[in-house]
């Protein structure tokens, strides 16, 4: 990605164009054909045993979409063999006017992927079909400008407003207005501190609470942010937010293949956070959690990143908050694992630790590393789903209903939105609640 990084740095005037070595320039962004894929993806193609385990757990395939991770890998192998024979026959300039993209793998297959990584987790020989899909998406976006219209609109919104939706950047901190919390029978206002004001006072907070676009604008996401702010206030945590200085993390741009926009967003955020000497970040969004933890480091953003379920566990273990297990007495709770918290980063225990403090959970048949995606990831939340038998969130809601639960807990704003949609579709709104763990904790706080 160095060539993209250099272009972004030039655009941001961080380096001069004359400083770029022309040898670093690339012919193509992403992958159009097998020659553009890295050696790992090509070796994966030959490693595949064709067992089909990847496809058997793919949420897109399970809901009748065209995508099959097994086919993606086998198509790559078939094209690689064809391309190799052509090179041996006619030399490196071989051209049969065919490519992996379009001739083997269609747009419909590419955009059905939720990037949940269930396929990679299930593979017995560690093949990663998602990496091939993302390289093809990068080519689609950055070379062909052929992404779905709604994905293009999402990218335009991020460029113009700093969020995937058409909301004003000036409204980003509105979620923090008029937050009320009852303490000892008295209603009190919860004030959310800002980094800029802390700096003006000569203070450097221990934590940055990264709210994220969903936590700032989505109705359900804003409720999660408000509830977590209540927890932070009650535990007297030394933290602050960026407010309107925060902008989109770029996660959705990256999953869509718009690497340039991702790096632009990342570098802007890194400049701001490093300016405030941020060392520790807490976020309620597993997608931003994953991006900060695993991808910002490549661009100079190195932080200790904590998901809010992990932080809540720490607060309970250190005695900074106590929970009343009787509040949810009688509620049968099941938990939906967010893909980017669980499979993406191996965190399954923190949310369960908290839920077990207030009554325990009944697991769905697909849980932890084999949890089923909610259907929102990989930019699916911002586009129409590909044709299939049902929506992914509908299938996941059916998993929840099988437990006989009357409360679905999750730990991601996008997961919460999708599970609420599933409950509406099943006409169970009056029987089943969907809550983020932050909301459950606030209801159970001993104050």
Helices (H), 12-148: 39-47, 53-57, 59-62, 69-90, 100-103, 107-112, 118-122, 129-142
List, for residues 252-276, the tens digit of each pLDDT value.
Answer: 999 999 999 999 999 999 999 999 9
For residue 433, pLDDT over 80 is answered with: yes
In the chain, the percentage of residues whose pLDDT exceeds 90 is 89
Q: Is 190 helix (H, G, I), strand (E, B) or coil?
A: strand
Contact in structure between 409 and 361 (CB atoms under 8 Å): yes
Q: Single out the residue of 270, 250, 417, 228 nearest to residue 338, CA to CA.
A: 417
**Local confidence band at 21 (pLDDT 50, 70, 90 cut-offs):** low
What is residue 404's predicted lDDT score, i.e. its pLDDT? 97
**Local confidence band at 26 (pLDDT 50, 70, 90 cut-offs):** low
The CATH 3.40.50 domain(s) of the chain lie at 321-444
What is residue 11's predicted lDDT score, i.e. its pLDDT? 78
Alpha-carbon distance of 31 to 50, in angstroms, equals 23
Phi, psi dihedrals of residue 150, rounded to the nearest 5°: -70, -30
For residue 15, pLDDT over 90 is answered with: no
Residues 6+ apart with CB under 8 A from 373: 59, 114, 116, 118, 339, 392, 396
Tokens linked to 53: 């385990």
In the chain, the percentage of residues whose pLDDT exceeds 70 is 98
What is residue 45's predicted lDDT score, i.e. its pLDDT? 96
List, for residues 270-319, the tens digit of each pLDDT value.
Answer: 999 999 999 999 999 999 999 999 999 999 999 999 999 999 999 999 99
List, for residues 180-231, the tens digit of each pLDDT value.
Answer: 998 878 889 999 999 999 999 999 999 999 999 999 999 999 999 999 999 9
Weakest mean pLDDT among 154-168, 179-193, 398-412? 179-193
**Local confidence band at 9 (pLDDT 50, 70, 90 cut-offs):** confident
Cα separation values, 435 from 46, 227, 235, 357, 420, Å: 44, 11, 21, 16, 9
Q: Which residue has the tokens 């919860």?
A: 190
* Mean pLDDT taken over the chain: 95
**Local confidence band at 41 (pLDDT 50, 70, 90 cut-offs):** very high
Alpha-carbon distance of 194 to 198, in angstroms, equals 6
What is residue 314's predicted lDDT score, i.e. its pLDDT? 98
Q: Which residue has the tokens 């962004």?
A: 29
What is residue 73's predicted lDDT score, i.e. its pLDDT? 98
What is residue 424's predicted lDDT score, i.e. its pLDDT? 97
Q: Are strands 179-183 and 186-190 parallel, antiparallel or unpaired?
A: antiparallel
The CATH 1.10.1060 domain(s) of the chain lie at 31-146
Phi, psi dihedrals of residue 182, rounded to the nearest 5°: -85, 120
What is residue 235's predicted lDDT score, i.e. its pLDDT? 97
What is residue 24's predicted lDDT score, i.e. its pLDDT? 59
What is residue 329's predicted lDDT score, i.e. its pLDDT? 78
List, for residues 48-98, the tens digit of each pLDDT value.
Answer: 999 999 999 999 999 999 999 999 999 999 999 999 999 999 998 899 999
Q: Say yes or no: domain 321-444 is CATH 3.40.120.
A: no
| DSSP letters for 266-321 | HHHHHHHHHHTT--EEEES-HHHHHHHHHTGGGGT---EEEEHHHHHHHHHHTTS-
Question: Rounded mean pLDDT of 165-182?
Answer: 95
The continuous run of DSSP H or E covering 230 comes out as: helix 219-234
**Local confidence band at 25 (pLDDT 50, 70, 90 cut-offs):** low
Which CATH class, in words, describes the domain spanning 31-146?
mainly alpha
Paired residues of 101 in beta bridges: 105
């Amino acid at each position: 990605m160095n060539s993209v990084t250099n272009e972004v740095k030039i655009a941001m005037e961080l380096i001069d164009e004359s400083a770029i070595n022309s040898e670093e320039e690339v012919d193509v962004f992403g992958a159009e054909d097998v020659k553009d894929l890295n050696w790992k993806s090509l070796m994966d193609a030959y490693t595949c045993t064709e067992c089909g385990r990847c496809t058997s757990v793919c949420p897109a395939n399970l809901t009748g979409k065209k995508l099959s991770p097994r086919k993606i890998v086998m198509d790559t192998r078939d094209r690689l063999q064809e391309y190799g024979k052509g090179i041996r026959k006619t030399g490196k300039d071989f051209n049969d006017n065919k490519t992996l993209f379009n001739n083997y793998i269609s747009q419909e297959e590419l955009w059905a992927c939720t990037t949940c990584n269930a396929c990679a987790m299930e593979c017995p020989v560690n093949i990663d079909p998602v990496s091939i899909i993302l390289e093809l998406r990068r080519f689609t976006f950055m070379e062909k400008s052929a992404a779905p219209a709604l994905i293009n609109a999402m990218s335009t919104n991020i460029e113009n407003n700093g969020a995937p939706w058409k909301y004003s950047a000036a409204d980003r901190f509105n979620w923090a207005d008029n937050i009320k919390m009852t303490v000892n029978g008295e209603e009190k206002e919860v004030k959310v501190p800002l980094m800029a004001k802390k700096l003006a006072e000569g203070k450097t907070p221990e934590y940055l609470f990264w709210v994220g676009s969903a936590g700032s604008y989505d109705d359900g996401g804003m409720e999660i942010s408000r509830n977590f702010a209540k927890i932070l206030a009650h535990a007297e945590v030394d933290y602050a937010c960026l407010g309107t200085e925060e902008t989109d993390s770029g996660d959705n741009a990256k999953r869509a293949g718009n690497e340039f926009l991702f790096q632009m967003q990342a570098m802007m955020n890194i400049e701001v956070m490093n300016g405030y000497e941020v060392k520790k970040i807490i976020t309620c969004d597993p997608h931003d959690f994953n991006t900060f933890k695993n991808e910002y480091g490549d661009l100079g953003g190195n932080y200790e990143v904590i998901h809010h379920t992990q932080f809540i566990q720490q607060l309970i273990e250190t005695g900074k908050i106590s929970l009343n297990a009787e509040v949810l007495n009688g509620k049968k709770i099941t938990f939906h694992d967010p893909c980017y918290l669980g499979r993406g980063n191996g965190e399954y225990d923190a949310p369960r630790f908290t839920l077990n403090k207030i009554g325990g959970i009944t697991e769905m048949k697909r849980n932890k590393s084999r949890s089923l995606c909610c259907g929102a990831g990989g930019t699916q939340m911002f586009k129409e789903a590909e044709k299939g038998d049902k929506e992914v969130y509908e299938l996941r809601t059916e998993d929840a209903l099988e437990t006989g639960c009357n409360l679905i807990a999750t730990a991601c704003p996008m997961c919460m939105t999708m599970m609420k949609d599933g409950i509406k579709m099943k006409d169970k709104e009056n029987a089943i609640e969907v809550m983020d763990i932050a909301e459950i904790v606030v209801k159970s706080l001993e104050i």
